[in-house]
Amino acid sequence: MSEERASFGSKLGIIMATAGSAVGLGNIWRFPYMTGKNGGAAFILIYIVCVIVLGIPCMISEFIIGRHGAANTARAYTRLSNGTIWKLVGYLEVLTGFLITGYYAVISGWCLNYVYASVMGELNGDPAFVKNYFVEFSQDPIRPVFWTIAIFAITHFIIIHGVRNGIEKASKLMMPTLFVLLLVIVVAAWMLPGASKGIDFLLKPDFSKVNSDVFLGALGQCFYSLSIGMGCLCTYASYFSRHTNITTSAIQIGFVDLMVALLAGLMIFPAAFSVGINPDSGPSLIFITLPNVFNQAFSGAPLLGWAVSLMFYALLFLAALTSLISLHEVNTAFFYEELHISRKAGAWIVTVFCCIIGALCSISIGHKSGLSLFGLDLLDLFDFVTGQLMLPVVGFFMCLFVGWYIPKQIVIDELTNWGTLKFSFYKLFIFVMRFVCPLCILAIMLHQFGVI
């Protein structure tokens, strides 16, 4: 059965839902890790420039495709391309989002487990205990799968209630809660002895560490943290009204995403420096390093340490969930519109098949699972294929599609809301999409494979 296309009910709903799509685990752990590795504030300044030059124009492009196409990502590209080969970019976006949904839920499930573990006091112990807890949990054949299915169940419940009553309502609740939790933990971290060293490191630039790797790292962080190329922004834009100013919305969402990343830095650096830990431990930061940070930093007040740890993992869970909702919606919209079935049926297809992908990815981490391809477990393989291959390729061709193929008048109409907005920066926007963004994304791809 077909259903009337939904839409967001308010401007706040648009900002909260789309910002929730962009804000994810990459903001909370990867941004501080990249900042610590690449010169503190120097990296932040470069990142801000990348958001303005690359991130916001790419976001606007996805909004143009999504709102004008007024359909799921694949159909939106098909409509704007008049059925030419360019439509394959839309299908590739959907496929990318589908694969990311499956393995991203595994990490999201870990966050949900750590909320439970914090409540139950299971993370209290010395560094060896905390590390052993994570290793045993991640390699367990049952527990991670359970939490993967659990977070899919929460996501599924929100998705089946539609855009306004599900995604928008949930985002209006979760995103403010996420900010409140961030601010509370930031204040707690700043009160620790020696926290000022972490703040100084974050806010005082060290330009001696700046090189081409730092620039390309900032470009890559910007590209991934804003959810460009996954179909999320394009799908959400299809629910925008004709009165939504897509340029202003992109700037506001980019600002929210940046604020979350900066607050994460202001939360993690003071706490880490207070106990003599440099937060550059990569993916293990949130599951091994930080529990030890909380245990040491609040050793004199264990109840406060317990509360901060709980709030931190609740924060991670909310960040993961908002992104997972948007990824799920990309595929739900695709299935129920293309197969002409109900929204609930489309959501069930995504939930069931992505649960299977998530379960296989989770099981593959175990040393004795035997589930691996090309020398990688399935979780790392999915991360590599989507993150280093599919996302940059989709982003590259999306830029070319908007910059060179879409008729000029369509772009102008979308940027000006069909002439109701007098200010237009069409020439600058098209120049960026034709030359600047494709070259930046190409540089990211070549850098990832050691070519430059």
**Residue 35 confidence class, pLDDT cut points 50, 70, 90:** confident
How do residues 197-218 score in pLDDT, each as one tens digit?
A: 888 888 888 888 888 888 888 8
**Residue 193 confidence class, pLDDT cut points 50, 70, 90:** confident
What percent of the chain is predicted at pLDDT more than 90? 57
Domain spans of the chain? 11-406
Residue 125 has which token pair?
């112990």
What mean pLDDT is reported for the chain?
89
How do residues 45-60 score in pLDDT, each as one tens digit?
A: 999 999 999 999 999 9
Predicted confidence (pLDDT) at residue 195 exceeds the cutoff of 90: no
> Among 1.10.4160.10, 2.60.40.790, 2.60.40.10, 2.40.50.140, what is the CATH number of 11-406?
1.10.4160.10
How do residues 65-96 score in pLDDT, each as one tens digit?
A: 999 999 999 999 999 999 999 999 999 999 99
What percent of the chain is predicted at pLDDT more than 70? 96
How do residues 8-31 score in pLDDT, each as one tens digit?
A: 988 889 999 999 998 888 888 788
β-bridge partners, 377: 372
* Cβ density class 258-268: b for 16+ within 10 Å, e for less: bebbbbbbbbb
Predicted confidence (pLDDT) at residue 409 exceeds the cutoff of 70: yes
**Residue 274 confidence class, pLDDT cut points 50, 70, 90:** confident
**Residue 275 confidence class, pLDDT cut points 50, 70, 90:** confident
What pLDDT was estimated at residue 194? 85
Instruction: State CA 271 to chain mean position distance.
Output: 24
What pLDDT was estimated at residue 1? 37
What pLDDT was estimated at residue 128? 84
What pLDDT was estimated at residue 101? 95
- Residues 405 and 399: their CA atoms lie apart, in Å, by 10
Predicted confidence (pLDDT) at residue 3 exceeds the cutoff of 60: no
Q: What average pLDDT does the segment 420-426 reach?
A: 83
Distances (CA, A) of 80 to 57, 65, 290, 349, 402: 18, 7, 47, 27, 10
What pLDDT was estimated at residue 283? 62
Among 315, 255, 247, which Cα is nearest to 22's? 255
**Residue 280 confidence class, pLDDT cut points 50, 70, 90:** low
What pLDDT was estimated at residue 205? 85
Q: What average pLDDT does the segment 105-133 reach?
A: 90
Sorted by sequence, the CB contacts under 8 Å of residue 138 that are 6+ apart come out as 110, 144, 287, 365
List the single range of 10-24, 140-154, 250-264, 363-377 with lowest mean pLDDT. Answer: 363-377
